[in-house]
Amino acid sequence: MIYTLPLIAAVLGWLMNSFAVSMLIKSLSRRREQLAEQLGKIAGQQFSFAVIKQKLTDPEKIKSIIPVVEKHLDEFLRTRLPKAMPVLSMFIGDSTVNQIKGHLITELDTLFPVMINQYLDNVENDLNLEKIVSDKIRNISDEQLQLGTKQFLGKELNIFKLLGAATGFIIGIIALILACYMK
């Protein structure tokens, strides 16, 4: 019976660490409000509109959308504008359409970065990322939060449990040696 002491201690160590893991995961649910606030603050601090503005107003990015705009302008000037204003179609030929389109595209090259910057300024003023993230976390169910934590930390939590078993086993061996030595 005394020789089973290391195995009993290993099982107890594993059970105690399993209980600790379970309590830790459940405490996340109880502290969801604080977790939501902290993660919201982190997201708000890490998110930079300046970087987004820089990327979206990059001249190369603007040039990549110009063909789409050019195609739309061509269709508008050649098809929809003459239908809307039939008299105008008598004065607008291919060369006029191409000139108008060329001038508009040049103007749009300058206008797009300004429009995008203005739009992002408005979005930045209206968007509270900290609040959005906090609200999303507050609305996660207990089951989802616990499952997500287990999935994210699963390997580490299992190692922690095994460490409890290993520690218990070592303590059991030490207790066995001391028991045999004391006899």
Q: Is the pLDDT score of 89 beyond 90?
A: no
pLDDT digits (tens, 9 = 90+) for 47-74: 877 788 788 878 888 888 888 988 998 8
Range of the domain at 55: 2-182
Helix, strand or coil, per DSSP, at residue 61: helix
| Confidence bin at 125 (pLDDT 50/70/90) | confident
**How confident is the model over 141-157, as a mean pLDDT?**
89
Q: 165: closest CA among 177, 153, 173?
A: 173
Q: Per the structure block, which two tokens stand in for 24?
A: 């830790």
Does the pTM surpass 0.75? The reply is no
Number of domains within the chain:
1
**CA–CA distances in Å: residue 16 to residues 25, 129, 143:** 14, 40, 22
| Rounded Cα gap, residues 37 and 137, in angstroms | 9
Do 146 and 25 form a contact (C-beta atoms < 8 A)?
Answer: yes
Determine the Cα–Cα distance for residues 19 and 1; give it in Å rounded to an integer. 26
Q: Which two tokens stand for residue 182?
A: 């004391």
